[in-house]
């Protein structure tokens, strides 16, 4: 049987187990309570086979609903965090009253845990461009009674306008801005800049900025230069991949040049502790001022 035939028969959620399970076995949650975590993974995967949506509670009680095949949701459900090492850093860095901005918020797997950290005296601004994904995000914000979270169905870029979004049902985490300017049947959504949006919200600083936009980081950062400059204590989290940036004709080095000009330097995390990054800018990179 050909690989194409297998893909047609085996649901994406079951095919994903070949890399979900190795990831799971490397988490602290699995090492602490393997049977409990495997049970959560089995229940989540079984619910995905229904094909429409999955409702779940995170280990610490957050209520969420998600589309199937969304790894961020799977990770939050079974291990309590999409990126456990990053969350060790976030939990030390972000406290009551902080302003947390999530660019590429998905269904809220970062925004909702962050809402608990900042509390009612803080603000979480969650940007999610794709209308279908935003629908889940808005439902999840409402279900968890966190009025200090503002969810916005907008893309972020270098200038206000409109863009098209490509959505892949078999991997919703890689939803991204269409690289081809010609109309292609994707979802057309409004785009703003982070500088404009923060001004509209009356917020003059950001304490933590998480960006996960599948290669569109450079335009997002170009449209955020004002608020980054006005936020001396900002930490910026990026997920960088050359192949994603190349989709738009960008280079990772351009991000380093832009943020370096604003006084930020790249760091890697070791057990949640930021260390100056000496190697390639790839994967999760944290940008901090001295």
> Residue 167: what pLDDT?
62
Of 225, 250, 232, nearest to 240 by C-alpha is: 250
Which of 81, 110, 136 is a domain's end point?
Answer: 81
On whether both 262 and 178 belong to a single domain, the answer is yes
Which of 62, 81, 100 is a domain's end point?
Answer: 81
Identify whether the C-beta of residue 108 lies closer than 8 Å to the C-beta of residue 140.
yes
Give this prediction's pTM: 0.91
Q: What percent of the chain has pLDDT over 90?
A: 73
User: Coil, strand, or helix at residue 94?
Assistant: coil
Q: What is the mean pLDDT of residues 148-169?
A: 88
User: Coil, strand, or helix at residue 27?
Assistant: coil
Q: Where are the alpha helices (DSSP H) in 177-287?
A: 194-201, 217-222, 225-229, 242-246, 252-261
On whether both 72 and 113 belong to a single domain, the answer is no
Percentage helix, strand, coil for the chain under 3-state DSSP, each rounded to 5:
40, 20, 40
On whether both 34 and 100 belong to a single domain, the answer is no
Identify whether the C-beta of residue 196 lies closer than 8 Å to the C-beta of residue 227.
no
On whether both 159 and 77 belong to a single domain, the answer is no
Side-chain-side CA neighbours of residue 215 (13 Å): 20
On whether both 97 and 137 belong to a single domain, the answer is yes
Of 158, 190, 180, 178, nearest to 258 by C-alpha is: 158
> Residue 5: what pLDDT?
46
User: Coil, strand, or helix at residue 56?
Assistant: strand
List residues bridging with 26 in a β-sheet: none
If phi > 0 it is left, if psi is from -120 to 50 it is alpha, else beta; for residue 8 that is alpha
Which of 57, 81, 105 is a domain's end point?
Answer: 81
- Domain boundaries, position 27: 1-81
User: Coil, strand, or helix at residue 187?
Assistant: strand
On whether both 40 and 146 belong to a single domain, the answer is no
On whether both 131 and 227 belong to a single domain, the answer is yes
Q: How far apart are CA 69 and CA 133, in angstroms?
A: 12
Q: How far apart are CA 130 and CA 285, in angstroms?
A: 24
Q: What is the mean pLDDT of residues 278-284?
A: 89
Which CATH number does the domain housing residue 147 bear? 3.40.50.150
On whether both 131 and 242 belong to a single domain, the answer is yes
| Count of domains for the chain | 2
User: Coil, strand, or helix at residue 2?
Assistant: coil
Model confidence pLDDT, tens digit, residues 222-247: 999 999 999 999 999 999 989 888 88
For 180, other C-beta atoms within 10 Å of its C-beta total 10
Pairing of strands 63-66, 54-57: antiparallel
On whether both 41 and 134 belong to a single domain, the answer is no
On whether both 172 and 33 belong to a single domain, the answer is no
Query: Is the per-residue pLDDT at 153 higher than 70?
Result: yes
Stretch (H or E) spanning 25: helix 17-25
Query: Is the per-residue pLDDT at 141 higher than 60?
Result: yes
Q: How far apart are CA 248 and CA 214, in angstroms?
A: 10
pLDDT band at 39 (very low <50, low <70, confident <90, very high): very high
Q: DSSP of 251-274, one letter per residue?
A: -HHHHHHHHHHTT-EEEEEETTEE
On whether both 67 and 209 belong to a single domain, the answer is no
Sequence-distant (6+) residues with CB within 8 A of 263 are: 289, 290
On whether both 152 and 107 belong to a single domain, the answer is yes
């Amino acid at each position: 049987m050909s690989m194409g035939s297998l893909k047609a028969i085996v649901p994406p959620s079951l095919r994903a187990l070949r890399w979900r399970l190795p990831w799971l076995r490397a988490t602290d949650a699995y090492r602490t309570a393997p049977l409990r975590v495997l049970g959560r993974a089995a229940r989540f995967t079984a619910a995905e086979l229904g094909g429409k949506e999955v409702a779940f509670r995170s280990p610490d009680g957050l209520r969420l609903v998600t589309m199937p095949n969304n790894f961020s949701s799977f990770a939050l459900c079974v291990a309590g965090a999409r990126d456990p090492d990053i969350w060790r850093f976030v939990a030390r860095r972000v406290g009551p009253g902080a302003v947390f901005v999530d660019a590429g918020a998905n269904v809220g797997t970062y925004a909702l845990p962050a809402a608990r950290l900042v509390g009612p005296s803080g603000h979480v601004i969650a940007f999610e461009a794709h209308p279908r994904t935003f629908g889940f995000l808005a439902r999840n914000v409402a279900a968890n009674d966190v009025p200090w979270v503002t969810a916005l169905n907008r893309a972020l870029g270098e200038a206000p306008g409109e863009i098209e979004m490509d959505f892949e049902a078999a991997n919703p985490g890689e939803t991204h801005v269409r690289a081809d300017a010609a109309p292609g049947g994707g979802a057309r959504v409004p785009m703003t800049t982070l500088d404009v949006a923060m001004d509209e919200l009356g917020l003059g600083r950001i304490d933590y900025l998480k960006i996960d936009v599948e290669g569109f980081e450079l335009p997002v950062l170009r449209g955020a230069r004002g608020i980054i400059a006005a936020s001396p204590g900002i930490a910026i989290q990026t997920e960088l991949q050359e192949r994603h940036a190349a989709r738009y004709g960008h280079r990772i080095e351009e991000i380093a040049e832009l943020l370096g000009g604003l006084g930020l330097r790249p760091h890697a995390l070791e057990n949640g502790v930021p260390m100056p990054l000496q190697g390639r800018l790839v994967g999760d990179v944290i940008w901090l001022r001295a």
